[in-house]
Amino acid sequence: MIPNDTDADNRILKYKRMIRKSAINILAWLENNPSPTEEQLKKLRELKGEINDRIFYYAENIQNWEKHTTTIELPQPVIDQQAYLDTGISAEEEE
């Protein structure tokens, strides 16, 4: 079943990408401008404004989220294999 509000989910992913991009831009700016002038600091302030805006829009979109947790039971062969691995038998002992 496809959720009715896939557009909201797409916007959330979009805002997350935009925040990540802004954060990377700030990090790159800091690396490339070790001793910035006042003029160069204007660009950093612009980048800060961009990331603040994007965080605001992201927060607006997630405020009404219903959070769900899903637990999926593993098939018995997988559980048996994990139990076997947890016993810690070395490869030498197995042979």
Residue 31 lies in a domain: yes
pLDDT at 4 over 80: no
- Crossing angle (nearest 10°) for helices 38-62 and 6-32: 160
Residue 12 lies in a domain: yes
Check residue 94 and give its pLDDT. Answer: 58
Considering only residues 37 and 67, tell me which one the structure prediction assigns the higher pLDDT.
37
Check residue 90 and give its pLDDT. Answer: 62
Which has the closest alpha carbon to 48: 33, 63, 29?
29
pLDDT at 28 over 90: yes
pTM reported for the whole predicted model: 0.58
Check residue 91 and give its pLDDT. Answer: 58
Q: What is the spatial distance between Cα 33 and Cα 22, in angstroms, rounded to a whole number? A: 16
For residue 60, give its domain range. 7-65
Q: What is the pLDDT averaged over residues 7-27?
A: 87
For the chain, how many structural domains are there in total? 1
Q: What is the spatial distance between Cα 82 and Cα 85, in angstroms, rounded to a whole number? A: 5
Backbone phi and psi for residue 67, each to the nearest 5 degrees, phi listed first: -90, 135
pLDDT-based confidence at residue 92 (cuts at 50, 70, 90):
low
CB neighbours (10 Å) of residue 15? 19
pLDDT at 66 over 90: no
pLDDT at 36 over 50: yes
Residue 58 lies in a domain: yes
Q: What is the spatial distance between Cα 26 and Cα 19, in angstroms, rounded to a whole number? A: 11
Residue 1 lies in a domain: no
Residue 60 lies in a domain: yes
Residue 83 lies in a domain: no
